[in-house]
Amino acid sequence: MTKRYFGTDGIRGAVGEVPITPEFCLRLGWAVGKVFARPGGCHVLIGKDTRISGYMIESVLESGLASAGANVSLLTVMPTPAIAYLTRTLRADAGIVISASHNPYYDNGIKFFDADGNKLDDAIELEIEAQMQRDMVCVESDGLGKASRLEDAPGRYIEFCKATVDRRFRLGGMKVVLDCANGATYHIAPRVFEELGADVHVIGGEPNGTNINAGCGSTHPEALAEAVRSVSGDVGIAFDGDGDRVIMVDANGDVLDGDELLYVIAQDRAERGLLAGGVVGTVMSNFGLERALGGLNIPFVRAKVGDRYVLECLKAQGWVLGGETSGHILCLDLTTTGDAIVAALQALVPLVENQRPLAELKQGMRKLPQVLLNVEAARPRELAEQAGVKAAVADKARLLEGRGRVLVRPSGTEPVIRVMVEGEDQTEVSAIAQDLASSLEGLA
């Protein structure tokens, strides 16, 4: 069966348009309560980021869940990985996150975790969608669910984050600049790094409901780079709106994306004998990462784009470290999902333990020039499968054989085909990408 509403990371869209409407979310909450129902009632956590629409969605989800007999714990503003952690440790049946991650404030979404803090299986998502097609019937009054607020949720998660590094780990004397994207980490991340001893400077820490991700956070690291240079910081750390992606900046103001952070973490773990296998990236991971890991004799495997596919590949390989260029990094030996604060701390371990600056730690990896273009297409999946498209891609790939890569794939969220070309020479890469994009436009 094909899912109608669930995408690769829950349900997402523009607020006020189906599926992000009060009516839809009310029925969604009821359906989730029915699917997770068990004798004695089920327990569901709800957290959200700082979007103004989160309050509306939270209230209707709560009503829908209660009407199905589910008890609800409201966690208010919390990072996505915090919901995964608390769902597991509080023995809840499911966790819900109201967030559209790195999207602007006028979008929102609903993401789910199961009792183990993992994203839902396709089968459960299909079951929820099927339940939504049934008549919505409220349970008897004596079976209605109750709602309460978990006041100590931030403190629980802060202690968890600190526990992912050695108890002797200290950031004393280090000036750390945090960009919280005016999002869910704004009241969490500063406390974590302050309690570990850092001198913390914060930007993007004043959410107002509409400024989440606006010119700040991991999608706009230039703001962090400027801040690091202006205060002579040792390191900068940028999160996205819901706190599951991280981008870092070294003392020179140079940006490290997810590929470079994976390299820093993997290199350190390999040196300490703690890597436990290899590293999983995606088809979009820079070829420079694959080369650098190969130089350290660290296996590297590519998954499809999307953290759920990286997670699936890690589990299949029996490995624990993987991630995406965007900064979504998974450390499965520490937590069940991508966690920006946890990943940032892992990248800081070699910096602290070996007294080496971030700029030095990343030197073993050289990113190849990469060009990414979008070609509009009414039916991107169909276009990508055309013989003419495949022939054009193969022709360009031969030009870069052994020196780079060509990748053409339909977007999972937009009506476009993404063209990615990387290689040793920027001019050559740009020319090939533009030529291929023009060919696709002619076939669209």
DSSP 51-91: -THHHHHHHHHHHHHHHTT-EEEEEEE--HHHHHHHHHHTT
* Sheet strand arrangement including 329-331: 300-303, 279-282, 321-323, 329-331
Does an H or E element contain 292, and which?
Answer: helix 287-295
Collapsing DSSP to helix, strand or coil, 206 comes out as coil
Q: What is the pLDDT of residue 413?
A: 66
Q: Measured at the alpha carbon of residue 154, what is the angle toward residues 207 and 238, in degrees to the nearest 5? A: 50
Q: Is the peptide bond before 190 cis (omega within 30 degrees of 0)?
A: no
In the chain, domain spans: 11-150, 157-361, 370-443
Written as six digits, the tokens of 302 are 């590519």
Residue pLDDT tens, the chain, 444 long: 789 999 888 999 999 999 999 999 999 999 999 999 998 889 999 999 999 999 999 999 999 999 999 999 999 999 999 999 999 999 999 999 999 999 999 999 999 999 999 999 999 999 999 999 999 999 999 999 999 999 999 999 999 999 999 999 999 999 999 999 999 999 999 999 999 999 999 999 999 999 999 999 999 999 999 999 999 999 999 999 999 999 999 999 999 999 999 999 999 999 999 998 999 999 999 999 999 999 999 999 999 988 899 999 999 999 999 999 999 999 999 999 999 999 999 999 999 999 999 999 999 999 999 999 999 998 888 999 999 899 999 999 999 988 889 999 888 667 889 999 999 999 999 999 999 999 888 887
Written as six digits, the tokens of 170 are 């200290």
Q: How many residues does the chain have?
A: 444
Same fold, 11-150 and 157-361: yes
- Domain 370-443: state its class: alpha beta
Written as six digits, the tokens of 360 are 């030095």
Give Cα separations from 338 to 93, 240, 322, 330, 346 (angstroms).
Answer: 20, 12, 9, 5, 13
Contact assessment for residue 345 and residue 357, using Cβ atoms and an 8 Å cutoff: no
Contact assessment for residue 346 and residue 339, using Cβ atoms and an 8 Å cutoff: no
Strands (E), 285-398: 300-303, 321-323, 329-331, 370-376
Does an H or E element contain 45, and which?
Answer: strand 43-48
Give Cα separations from 272 to 190, 276, 329 (angstroms).
Answer: 28, 11, 20
Give the domain 157-361 fold: Alpha-D-Glucose-1,6-Bisphosphate; Chain A, domain 3 (3.40.120)
Neighbour count for residue 395 (Cβ, 10 Å): 14
Q: Which residues are catalytic?
A: 101
Q: What is the pLDDT of residue 16?
A: 98
CB burial of residue 262 (10 Å; 0-12, 13-18, 19+):
buried
Task: Please list, in sequence order, all residues whose beta carbon lies within 8 angstroms of the beta carbon of residue 185, skipping any fewer than 6 positions away.
Answer: 79, 178, 239, 243, 340, 341
Written as six digits, the tokens of 337 are 């999902």
Q: What is the pLDDT of residue 442?
A: 84
Task: Please list, in sequence order, all residues whose beta carbon lies within 8 angstroms of the beta carbon of residue 95, skipping any fewer than 6 positions away.
Answer: 44, 45, 46, 47, 83, 84, 86, 87, 112, 113, 117
Phi/psi of residue 40, each to 5°? Answer: 90, -5
**What CATH architecture applies to the domain 11-150?**
3-Layer(aba) Sandwich (3.40)
Contact assessment for residue 236 and residue 227, using Cβ atoms and an 8 Å cutoff: yes
